[in-house]
Structure 1
Amino acid sequence: MKKQKIFLLCLLAAVFVFDGCTTRDSEIYGQGKVLEYVDSVCPEPYHLTGKTLIEESPDNMEYYFETDNRKLSFKANSYLSPVWIDATQTGFYSRKISCDYVSVVHDLYREDVKAVLETAPNYMEDHGWIYLLSFSDIGQTVDTILAADQIYGQELAYNPPEFLSDHPVTSVHLVWQRSEEEAREHETWVNMTDVGITGQHDREELYDRLANIYAQLCVDGKIENAEGVPRSYLADKHVALLPVILLNGKEMLYDDNDNPYGPYGLTTDDYKYCWYSEDKDSYMMVIDTGLISENMSMPLIIREYVKALGGNYSVSADGDRYTSTWTIGADRWVMRSDHSDEGIRSLEISKNGRPLDISYITVDDDFNVSATFCVGVTVEDFCRLFDLNWEIEESQGKILFTY
């Protein structure tokens, strides 16, 4: 047992050394690396005014800077940071560099921005939120944000627009409340969005953005007060999420947890929804791509439908390539997918030996896909995988499939 512990410790040490970890007596990054890092953080001209070793073993070297034009002082640190595993500090360290330039810039405006936000009657100081009671509150909310924007917009004299966009001085969370009393109780609310104070908002664009969000939440039934919402904002909007899926009149529960391909249960029930994509102008469904593994849980969405329709389903793996086959009646589908650590590389589906022209989106295209080993397809293409028909009942939050 003692030899085994020594071996494990040696193995752990080898892993940390290989991964770039060091000990408390190791060297920190030098001045060259620090200046490279500061260049990436501070766009305006600056110069180094000094440095001091403020901690030893592990070392922490502090560098002092000043901007050329407005004489703004800030600092950077090159230091060793302890490595923690499961809330336990190891004897290893990693080299780090930090710089407080962005924070120092924000300090110039933070209090003035906060003072502007606090002038709004619906600003919740304890939370940094603004609540809306009705659509008519959008105009006042936009005016407040633009007033705060004017404060931070002064930074454009020293930094490019990209800096302000990447580093908002603060962010305001917007919510809808049924009443002022509900807002004070702060127990329930409807999340709308977050707006960063970037000094660059356009009034019309920001108003339209918030108006469309408010209208969408009304369509989704989450905001109950739709009074005063112009028809132009409600037109062409669809319920964002349909949580109920019916097949031949029976609800699909995605609850088959039998996994013959590995020791872990399935996650199929995580994907029991249909959502509307504005980019695709269509309702969408998630399908798995046939990935199976002995090392993790995964969904078998296609199998759920095949079994419900009385068909047969199988999947096999050859390295990173997976082949799914299913039959329903006299028809046979084959899906071939190729995966990498980053996600799916290719996906091909055929029916009775003929390729199906089915386009798909990944989680990088739409977060509703939810996983790198799944894809999203239009409802129409989803039906082609099983010869289904479909109907949407938006007001009921349902999609109905029939065979």
Structure 2
Amino acid sequence: MQQASNPLSKAHQKQHMKQAFLARARERKAADAAVENIPEVLRRFLPKLGERQVHLFPVALVCSLLLFMTGGLSSFMPLGEAISHAFIIGTYPAEEADVLAAERAYCEMEKELEDELDHYEARHPGCDEYNVKAQEIWHDPYAICAIISAYLGGEEWTIDSAYPVMERYFKLQYVLTEKITTETRYRTEQRVGQQLVTDPKTGAQRWESYTYEVEVPYTYRICDVKLENKKLSHQPVYSMSREKMGLYALYMSTLGNMPDLFAGKPHASQLKDPLLYDVPEEYKQADPQFGKLIEEAEKYLGFPYVWGGSSPDTSFDCSGFVSYVFTNSGVYNTGRLGATGLYGICQKITADEARPGDLIFFEGTMGEDVGGITHVGLYVGDNMMIHCGNPITYADLTRSYWQQHFYGFGRIPYDP
């Protein structure tokens, strides 16, 4: 029988949840042992997962996200019940067969697009030259399943009801454009003419044929074909309400509670627990404003990366996370700025001058084709930062990856 619990305020629920899933994550128990610790109220829902592993941290994270989205559910709802609700909501509302069918259908759309590009000249005759420039065709299978589930409002779906959603997002992700230009060019052609020839011996004249060359103008048609992959995971921010964006974040945080379904797919997301780190207490005491930043930032450890996200309702991207932490901690109202915008309001400092509370910026983290500043994190001292990777986590700045992409430090002008 479920025990009654005292009413908790929304703030207390959030804090309790944070402490619960941070403690569990620190233990790092094996998956089998972790399942043994799941409350009985949650166990009844495990058959929905079959033989797949259940990770405690994502379950607790979904509950935390759900509390934000729903205003704390009910102040009278026991924590175990909140976890069970969150667990259910974090599961794709579809049978596994339909989830797999949706992925196959989206892959088939991509194959047809690839085939169209490979045979573009044969299927679109009439030009003298064809130039096809295409970005790589790929998608995260968990992203399309999360999009379907969120777009349909968390309602149960099948491959039939999902197909129109996939068609919509395929058109948003892949933009194929054709541009035909013309120019006047010249080609050499041979012509046949008649000339009067006189016989040198007899003086008789006759007409003879001869060939000659002329430069002839003609219209040369050039077909330039361009395929842009606007990244499937970027599309929810442009096409979904805040509520549905929140659902999308939930499904991405749990991978629909099917974390092994697309194992081995090259672009499939993986379920990751955040790296936990204890910021030295003396750093917080030396700068109370920095302490406020850390207190706010750690509330969202484990939240998934959602491009364009800027609040707990939608989850965050890197700059959305930093902007939200500074603004909602009361330290400094940055508004919603991108990474470049945050760098713009910073005082530029050297690595030797960096202190906890400064920002650290990176370049080249989104591929070679994206220039400028592409990532930002909050420096916490001792070569560590907290940032919105995937998920929000601490990171060791001595790793070669961060060293290679380092751009610079900046200091937002707040009073310590």
Normalised to the residue count of structure 2, the TM-score between the two structures is 0.22
Q: Which is greater in Rg? A: 2
Using the size of structure 1 for normalisation, the TM-score is 0.22
The structure carrying a bigger helix percent of its residues is 2
Q: Specify which structure has the higher proportion of strand.
A: 1
Q: Relative contact order: is structure 1 or structure 2 higher (C-alpha 8 Å, sep ≥ 6)?
A: 2
